[in-house]
Structure 1
Amino acid sequence: MPEDHDNRGTRSAQQQKEENVSFLEPALWRTLNDAQSDQEFCLSWLELQSHMIIGTTSGLVGFGSVEAGTFAPVAFYPRGLQERKHFAGVVEQVFKERKGIVLRNDGEGDALVPEQLRLLVGYPIWVDGELDGVVALELLPRPSAELQAVMRQLQWGSAWLQKWLMQKQAEPQQQIQSRLETALELTICTLDEKSYQAAAMVAVTELAMRLECDRVSVGFLQRHQAKVSALSHSAQFGKQMNLVQSIAAAMDEAMDQGQVVIYPPSGTGPTAIVRAHSELAEQLGDTVICTVPFVNSEGDVYGALTFERSGSTPFDAELLELCETAADVLGPILEEKRLNDRHIFWKLAASGKSLLSKFIGPEHMLYKLVFVLLLALVIFFSFATGDYRVTAKAALEGQVQRAVVAPFRGYLFSADVRAGDVVREGQLLASLDDRDLRLERNKWASQRAQHQLEYRRKMAEGDTAAANISQEQAVQAKVQLTMLDEQISRARILAPFDGIVVTGDLSQALGSPVEIGDTLFEVAPLDRYRLKLQVDEREIDQVRLEQTGALILNALPELPLPFTVSKITPVSLAEEGQNFFVVEATLDEFSERLRPRMEGFGKITIGEQKLIWIWTHKMIDWVRLWVWTWWP
């Protein structure tokens, strides 16, 4: 019977809950959907939850973090709740354990409840993985199963709070995105126009329509005063109109102060002088005026935008930020178009004036210092003199270069040296295979012995004619032996003199055939050199015989070697798109570190000239040639 009684009680409570949910006041849902503030939204949410969760006596919703000290209650249920301290423990516990909790008055856990039997239920509000708030409810005691249902209800209901917080956090980003979209659209409209005047007209007209302004004006600083360039919805306007002059005065006022000027003043921003703006407002009547100056990266003001709206629609913070964004985007674009649309004469004049101001103006001390230094250097080098020298690529060669060739047809037997080796006179360089020659020599030696024996035998028999024949055959064999001996001796290829092997590396060609006259090595002496310089055709007329100079080799940069010009060849060489003449010279000093085919640079001393001529004569000659080529 008691069990049936409990079941009837549970069904009665459930039935009552369903009836409450089914007949919730529509006003609460409308308030929840139309809420504009945190307090209004959270209070409506708490009242809805109190209808859904039976036995709710009080509750609160708070946003922020206890650890960071930013937690603050936003709404309490019921309205005008006075006793709030009993929620402190459950809120701290939720932030500590970072999950939903229940504090009971049964001695378990760190229960902190009023004297009457109550349950405190707390549930965290998560947004993007961060704990951004807590919901706390005070409930009448109930079984554990119903407490689980309460937790599920809070879990489902907290999604409303999460969505609300995410919307609040996304509002600044949405505002920024909206401003950027507007700025991008304005930029596209402005850049589509080719001329400055058309671009300015499109820009102010688009601004007036998008910002719901009565009129938007743009002007730029010219001769230290603002000049109005375009008015929205006005293709032409008289420059002497009082209205245009008043707008220009308002722009001057904002540009002189270098800040945004709003009239009537809002009282929240920095203090500004608004005399010109007030005079403009008197002409226009019930109007709110805002002027935003154009400021470049260096902090210089060069123009302004003036916005006019009716007095019933003043400039709020969001609209003011949009005006400043438009000025930051459109200012550089319009200024660039304005400067590009000027006549070429005014462009040159402005460039000259800008450059001149850097040299004689009150600032830019670095430019002045550099200009004075350059001027002093030009004056100095115009009078100072120095040695004029012609620079040319140089290569070192042996004065004599002997080719070592194959003395006869044969096969390479050995190669004892290769390019780069220093050799002495008579040193073995290579040898040819002489086995066939030795066999041939043995053959002729045997035939000679036979002919000599035949000669002696015929003489003993008294056959003089046959003896003479045998004697001549023996002589012929001796000649062949002499020739073979000479060839065998020449199979050993020796160095003709002391020197260095310039070319030839036969170590990888042993056993290969060679023909008579094939060059096997080239040998150059180490104590006799000649220098070849490649002088540019533009400077060859300066070079004379017996002129001296200095050589610096790439391998020996620390060793300058003096030389004397000995020969100027009349034949030119083309290399790397330029023509050169070969000039030969002899070294006046010798070093054992020199080797043939070393390269470097040589400078031939021509004579004394002014330093400025030395450094500029090539350019002057090129200009003369270019002018002469194009001159009719």
Structure 2
Amino acid sequence: MKKGTLDAPELATLHRSLDGIVRLDDAERFQAGFLQLAVALVNAAGGVLISREGGMRIDAELLSRQALSWSADLRSELLAAAGQAVNTNSVLVQPLERQSDAKLLVFPWKISLHTGCLVLVMIPEETQLDALLLYGQLLAGFMAQRKKVPLQKGQSLDTGLIQRFTRLLAESDRDTALLRFTSLLRQMAGCDRVAVAVVGADGHTRLEALSDITKVDQRTSEARLFTRTLAECQIQDGIVIYPSSSKLNSSPVLKEAAEGLQMKRFLALPLSIEGLKVGVLLFCWKDSKGNIRVIQRLQLLQPILAAVLKGLCQQPTTRERILRWPTKKKPSRPVLVSIVLLLALFPLPFKLKAPCVVVPTTTRYIAPRYDGILLEVLVQPGDMVNAGTILARLDGRELALEEARITAERDKSRKLHDRYMGSGDAAQTQLARLDIQRYDEQLQLLKNKQEQLILTSPVDGMLLSGDNLRREGGPVSRGETLFEVAPIERMRAELALPEKDVSFISPGMSTKLRFDSYAERSWKGELLRIIPRSQLRGNRNVFIATVEFDNDKGELRPGMSGKAHVKVGYRPLIWQLLRKPWYTLLSLLDRLF
């Protein structure tokens, strides 16, 4: 048994035993069976049932020889402790006079005209005391409810349902347990919603759980309305039903809750332990004919529900458990030193980070081969083009005029050639033939120029540069770059490695790339090569390393920047933490000495 918790197997035994003794019609047999269960459950040395009818008297007892040996007059001490607990109406833990480590655990109840208590005699462990008190409250609540609502013949408690409720005490997280608590209540009552509130020592009501809501936000209007409604119900002495013929029907708070929560019917059950209110349960129905026949069932379960709710609220939340962690017992210094050394010498993956930028693997430049006038531009940067796509056209009117002039001169030379040949002038004929050849060569050159008037893409890819729309009608020079086209199915990343990290890097190392434009994704590749000569970037010397990777979807564009993580290998954690400070210290010492 752990402090403040109940183990599920012990709870199952409790439920089965209660279901067995609750069927006993004879009062003496019932009390004897109840004491046997209580003593066996907590491994006590003895137990008694005491009632106050005219005076404190023992109704039933089960005391071992060991318990009787702890006190010269054990029964007198039992009656005295019982009277004190009944008068204060609170649980009492009192040591015996002769045996100080032996304790009397007194659990009183006060239901209508029935006042009494359960007293257990045992030597408890301090770590188990909270759980023992919770067990005792459950048993005392069961006994009190039996005296208040005697079960009719053939009637029994739903032990399966009780087991499901009390098993919640074994939950490690309070919020999860409260959510399951509301779900069980909703299923049992057949209602639409359930609200659970806890009443503090100052009487303040706080909303703790709502069905189907993992964490209650106290700032919402719905939560505030539930809180006011629960506070209104907890001041009542018994079960509250709304609407009803009583004066409570005129409560403006309940009317506001019915309108604001869009509910037709409410049933509120205040929960108390030994006369002290611990919480309120509110059942809500959207149907005005909501089932409120669960009242008798709730009356039977009231002490169990009260004890379970109190136990759940004593459990810490996950946040409270985290905040309490530093207050736990600290490990010894040798253990701490061993842990620190182990962590410091433990080898971890060593990665080097470097900025990177995307560049195409190949780039093709398109430039005119002759001077001319830019007539028309058909593409813009960012367009996807195929091999042979027309990018721009140059003006060919001057070439056409020049072609007409040369053609006319050639025709003239042909006529002269024919006339000189007819007259037999061999020298002039030869000169005319040479002129014809010269004009043919000029025409061929013009034809080649005309073929170059159309600029096309040599490869499939993306147009990286060439915003020449404003230059239409203007002159362009021979060899001037007008367009850049690059394939993007496979890209290259250029890593700018700091000079101090180059010694750790070698080709073939696995590299993970993450770019600012796609922070949620990463690309992987291997280092291909490291340019042996450093470059000046950002006022520092860096060495450029390249990594190629697939870009099938075309998401990455040239110029995108990001971070590269190069897996160098494994190094001790302390080496990774002290590497840069150590190098800085060495550099400082070199400057000083």
TM range (shorter): 0.3 to 0.5
The structure with higher relative contact order (CA 8 Å, sep 6+) is 2
Q: Which has the larger radius of gyration?
A: 1
TM-score in terms of structure 2 length: 0.41
TM-score in terms of structure 1 length: 0.39
